[in-house]
């Protein structure tokens, strides 16, 4: 594990997981939300998103967290490990609401400056529909890369904690004991 893509629904804990894993195995973490939003929630154009990701994946080691489906193939192609946080929708929706209260009127740590935390009915609907609308395509992508890459699917907060508890750095390699 040296090039790790972390994906999952909004509220699944991608950024927190990536940050904690990066600290444990000493790999730089790149939060796509930080890179692809400008103050006031102004999105970075898709072409710029692609350019940034092509640069990031050239690094020797990295953890990149985020969905951004239109550019996911860049990360999946370059990763040696893909971690899918496949948590229940109720957990994800609750976490979205909880973080909107926790970071009310300020940006959360994994978000760009000037992007005050907010929750909208549209985003909550996206999170709620993720298992039906997005998850099947993610699982299909993961199935297509599992022969060349380590694919890890974590389906509960307990599995996430256990995975992080077992992750460690050994020399130039990063492993998770199973």
CA distances from 173 to 20, 48, 71, 93, 147 (A): 17, 31, 27, 35, 20
Q: Are residues 4 and 63 in contact, defined by beta-carbon separation less than 8 angstroms?
A: yes
**Cα 92 from chain centre:** 13
- Per-residue model confidence (pLDDT) at position 103: 86
pTM of structure: 0.92
CATH number at residue 10: 3.40.50.300
pLDDT tens, the chain, 178 aa long = 899 999 999 999 999 999 999 999 999 999 999 999 898 889 999 999 999 999 999 999 999 999 888 899 999 999 999 999 999 999 999 999 998 888 888 878 888 888 888 888 999 999 999 999 999 999 999 999 999 999 999 999 999 999 999 887 655 545 555 4
Helix (H, G, I), strand (E, B) or coil at 37: strand
- Per-residue model confidence (pLDDT) at position 13: 96
Contacts of 150 by beta carbon, 8 Å cutoff, 6+ apart:
1, 80, 81, 82
**Cα 53 from chain centre:** 14
139-165: string of b/e by CB count within 10 Å (b at 16+)? Answer: eebbeebeeebebbebeeeeebeebbe
Q: What total number of domains does the chain contain?
A: 1
Nearest-angstrom CA–CA distance, 152 and 149: 10
- Per-residue model confidence (pLDDT) at position 178: 47
> Among 63, 60, 65, 75, which residue's Cα sits nearest to residue 141?
75
Domain of residue 168, residue span: 3-176
């Amino acid at each position: 594990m040296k090039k790790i893509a972390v994906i999952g629904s909004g509220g699944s804990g991608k950024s927190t997981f990536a940050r904690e894993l990066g600290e444990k195995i000493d790999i730089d973490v790149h939060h796509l939300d930080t890179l692809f939003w400008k103050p006031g929630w102004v999105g970075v154009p898709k072409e710029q998103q692609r350019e940034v990701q092509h640069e990031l994946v050239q690094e020797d080691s990295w953890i990149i967290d985020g969905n951004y489906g239109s550019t996911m193939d860049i990360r999946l192609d370059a990763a040696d490990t893909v971690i899918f946080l496949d948590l229940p929708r109720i957990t994800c929706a609750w976490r979205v609401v909880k973080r909107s209260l926790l970071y009310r009127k300020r940006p959360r740590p994994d978000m760009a400056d000037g992007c005050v935390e907010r929750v909208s009915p549209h985003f909550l609907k996206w999170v709620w529909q993720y298992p039906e609308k997005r998850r099947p395509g993610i699982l299909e992508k993961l199935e297509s890369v599992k022969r060349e890459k380590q694919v890890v699917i974590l389906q509960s907060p307990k599995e996430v904690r256990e995975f992080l508890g077992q992750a460690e750095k050994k020399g130039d390699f990063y492993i998770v004991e199973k």
